[in-house]
Structure 1
Amino acid sequence: MRLDISVTGDEDGVAVPSLYRWLTADQDLKGCVISLGDDEPVANTMGPGLDLISVVLGNGIALGSLAISVANWRESRARLPEVRLVRGGTTVEVRDGTPQQVQRMLEALGEADDSASDREV
């Protein structure tokens, strides 16, 4: 299962690399493939930007760990950034790390497939 994570309002460009470091340090996500990238490659550049984190998960347990880790990172910030997780056409905004919010994220992303149908939660 592949997900993309973006942080909006990151004008200074530090939030995405910070979240990337947080996720790669999380022991519960060690079996996942986590990489930095750009949602749309830019022509005539030397490489991808750092606008997006791509995560490949092996199972639903890893999805739960990812949701909790992202919510915890968000709560650790002085200014709460908007974080979005996207799988196929389903977009989930991370608001907090409460069990109810994590459950809603898991249900929406777990039910999603990698097709392009748009759905926002």
Structure 2
Amino acid sequence: MDAEIRLIGGNEKILIPSLWEWLRSERELRGRVDVIRGTPGEEDLGPALEALVVAVGSGGMATALVTALGTWLSSRGRGDVSITVKTDNGTVRVDAKGVRDALPLLQEVLRNAADEP
């Protein structure tokens, strides 16, 4: 099962690569994080990172992803940054301001999607 992660708010050109590096540095997620590249704008030198895709399998992958996303969002402070995580089971939006409240729902969606055959 794949989880597609998109950012809302903030400077996405900086934040998406930051999140990509953060997730790739997590031991449990290493080799499971890929990027979706967008169409380059007129002033861009190449395609920008548009979203991330994480292959979430069984075991502790869902927990590792939730923990990493929660920590990364918390480190953004109280800014207007949000992420959406989309799986076949649905989409969850997590705001930096209310990250602790949203993490249990994100955990449930990822865990349920990983458990599906």
TM over 0.5: yes
Q: Distance in 2 between matches of 1:28 and 1:75?
A: 20
Aligned pairs for 1:1-121 (under 5 A) are 1-11=1-11, 13-30=13-30, 32-38=31-37, 42=39, 49-78=48-77, 79-88=79-88, 90-95=90-95, 96-98=98-100, 101-112=102-113
Higher helix share: 2
Runs of 4+ in 1 over 2 A off after TM superposition: 46-49, 95-98, 100-103, 108-113
Q: Count residues in correspondence.
A: 109
Q: Distance in 1 between matches of 2:46 and 2:87?
A: 24
Unaligned runs of 5+ in 1: 114-121
- Paired residues of 2:89 and 2:109 also in contact (CA < 8 A): no
State the Cα deviation string for residues 26-70 of structure 1 (Å, max 9, x = none).
12323x5111113xx649xx9753010011122152011101101
- Paired residues of 1:68 and 1:97 also in contact (CA < 8 A): no
- Paired residues of 2:16 and 2:51 also in contact (CA < 8 A): yes
Unaligned runs of 5+ in 2: none
- Paired residues of 1:87 and 1:109 also in contact (CA < 8 A): yes
- Paired residues of 1:84 and 1:91 also in contact (CA < 8 A): yes
Partner amino acid for 2:35? L
RMSD: 2.9
Identity %: 23
- Paired residues of 2:17 and 2:49 also in contact (CA < 8 A): yes
- Paired residues of 2:10 and 2:80 also in contact (CA < 8 A): no
